[in-house]
């Protein structure tokens, strides 16, 4: 039961941190990964799904704002240039949706510009999955190093017992 709550917490953290609200789902992803209670692929799938759905919510907000309030003519020159860059690169720019600070506005701009939904979904999902994979790799590497150190210490203890004066 508690394991299910942790997975839902991971999903909600990933969802919220991928909207316009700040958050750090990497820490929430790293905690269950370091405890090895769940399959890392399951954790990756849950975190990626939450991140992708959060980014699509931001995309939808941009789409609705553009539909209800055509503001493009009233934007500052700096924001118009930013929109022009997103328009130029199109949906592939959403591979960078995982970046802090710029990722969420990028999703909003993609919706505002009415970039194709399914192409946006694809590139957001790819970018978010690649981003969620990073903390799992770090935890896996940390666990592998810890296992090597433990094995080396056990081997050293075994060697030191073999060479004690009473055994020689």
Say how far apart CA 114 and CA 108 lie, in whole Å: 10
Token code pair at residue 21: 């609200």
64 pLDDT band, cuts 50/70/90, is: very high
Confidence at residue 149, expressed as pLDDT on a 0 to 100 scale: 66
Query: How does DSSP assign the chain, residue by residue?
Result: -HHHHHHHHHHHHHHHHTTTS---HHHHHHHHHHHT-S-HHHHHHHHHHHHHHHHHHHHHHHHHHHHH---GGGS-HHHHHHHHHHHHH-GGGGGGTTSTTTHHHHHHHHHHTT--HHHHHHHHHHHHHHHHHHHHHHHHHHHHHHHHHHHHHHHHHHHHHHTSTTT-
- Taken in order 6, 9, 15, 21, the sign of the CA dihedral is negative
Q: Which two tokens stand for residue 104?
A: 């969420």
Give the Cα separation of 26 and 14 in Å (integer). 8
pLDDT tens per residue, range 94-132: 988 888 888 888 999 899 989 999 999 999 998 888 876
Q: How far apart are CA 65 and CA 38, in angstroms?
A: 40
Predicted TM-score (pTM) of this structure:
0.69
Residue 168: band (very low, low, confident or very high) from pLDDT cuts 50, 70, 90:
very low
pLDDT for residue 56 is more than 70: yes
């Amino acid at each position: 039961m508690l394991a299910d709550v942790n997975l839902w917490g991971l999903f909600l953290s990933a969802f919220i941190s991928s909207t316009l609200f700040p958050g750090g789902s990497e820490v929430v992803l790293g905690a269950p990964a370091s405890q090895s209670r769940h399959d890392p692929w399951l954790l990756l799938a849950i975190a990626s799904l939450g991140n992708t759905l959060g980014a699509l919510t931001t995309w939808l907000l941009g789409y609705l704002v553009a539909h209800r309030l055509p503001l493009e003519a009233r934007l500052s020159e700096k924001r118009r240039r930013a929109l022009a860059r997103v328009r130029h690169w199109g949906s592939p720019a959403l591979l960078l949706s995982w970046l802090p600070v710029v990722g969420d506005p990028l999703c909003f701009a993609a919706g505002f510009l009415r970039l194709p939904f399914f192409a946006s979904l694809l590139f957001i999902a790819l970018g978010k999955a690649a981003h969620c994979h990073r903390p799992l790799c770090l935890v896996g590497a940390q666990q592998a190093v810890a296992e090597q150190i433990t094995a080396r210490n056990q081997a050293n203890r075994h060697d030191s017992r073999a060479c004690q004066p009473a055994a020689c």
